[in-house]
Copies of this chain bind each other. A is one copy, B any other.
């Protein structure tokens, strides 16, 4: 994961209240599964705060950015663009190409909202489906990131964490990493 081109996840739209948990989960999934940053609309204030709090507690680096128009952010992106949509090409058919492209230039992964402008389908280098079935943008993002990084994201190390979970067969163990041997 070190030294690779950045991977940024962009949530196109957000309805305060109704979408709060989904947008939060998109951002936390992006963070946990190896993306460098998440881009949210300006009105996703609550989710942005929650994601930043998690990064403060459990470590980074991971950045949250907010823009008035994420669609304009997509329009202006100069690297590769992948758009997650149930109408796209099967992830298993395009993941090798996507991995090659993301080794050459920064990758923007676009996660839709309720109404995705047709411009985004046209602007994307890859419209990608994690199955052509309706399910969850969070699930699609998770499978895409795990396949893109081929599992390497699961071994990521975190810096500046206040707390660290120690894997356990049964129960819960959380420690302060500064007090770890």
Contacts and interface: CB of A to CB of B under 8 A. Distances in A.
A99 to B, nearest CB: 15
Q: Interface of chain A, helix or strand or loop or mixed?
A: mixed
Copies of the protein in its oligomer: 2
Interface string A76-96: 000000000011111110000
B121 A170 contact: yes
Contacts of A168: 87-89, 127
Contacts of A139: 25, 28-29, 32-33, 138-139, 141-142
A133 B89 contact: no
A144 B66 CA distance: 31
Interface residues of A, number: 55
A33 to B, nearest CB: 7
Interface string A131-143: 1111110111111
Interface in A8-35: 21-22, 25, 28-29, 31-33
